[in-house]
């Protein structure tokens, strides 16, 4: 069935560096959601994108949905230790199920 691939699987950065995770699909997606899961925590919804080429910002976080609606990215500017966690992209398939990517685990060295 439909799925998304996230890269990289792991990312280690120095505090203050930027970070980007990518979410790729071989088929067109109707929507993309992003979730963050802190270590030992549960996934927390960050944002949803539905329009081709859509860009949304939340403070230091920038989310993009590709023009072809087959990929998405999450970019964090000037990472902080509070950004540590795993970032998941997810999409609703035609059957109404939310399908999650494998996630990108971000660690930040102070």
- Under the rule (CB under 8 A), what is the footprint of other proteins? 30-31, 33, 41-45, 48, 50, 88, 92, 95-103
Between 33 and 73, name the residue whose CB sits nearer to other proteins. 33
Between 57 and 80, name the residue whose CB sits nearer to other proteins. 57
Instruction: Supply the minimum distance, in Å, between the C-beta of residue 37 and other proteins.
Output: 9
Helical ranges in 4-110 per DSSP H = none
38's tokens: 């802190």
Instruction: Supply the minimum distance, in Å, between the C-beta of residue 95 and other proteins.
Output: 6
Contacts of 34 (CB under 8 A, 6+ apart): 45, 46, 47, 48, 63, 72, 74, 87, 88, 89, 90
DSSP annotation string for 3-33: --EEE-SEEEEETT--EEEEEE-SS--S-EE
Instruction: Supply the minimum distance, in Å, between the C-beta of residue 51 and other proteins.
Output: 12
Instruction: Supply the minimum distance, in Å, between the C-beta of residue 34 and other proteins.
Output: 10
Between 23 and 79, name the residue whose CB sits nearer to other proteins. 23
């Amino acid at each position: 069935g439909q799925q998304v691939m996230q890269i990289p699987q792991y990312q280690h950065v120095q505090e203050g560096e930027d970070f980007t995770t990518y979410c790729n699909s071989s088929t067109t997606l109707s929507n993309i959601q992003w979730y963050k899961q802190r270590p030992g925590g549960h996934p927390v919804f960050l944002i949803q994108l539905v329009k081709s080429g859509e860009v949304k910002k939340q403070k230091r976080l920038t989310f993009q949905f590709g023009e072809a609606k087959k990929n998405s990215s999450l970019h964090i500017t000037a990472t902080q230790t509070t950004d540590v966690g795993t970032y998941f992209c997810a999409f609703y398939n035609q059957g109404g199920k939310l399908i999650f990517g494998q996630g990108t685990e971000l660690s930040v060295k102070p």
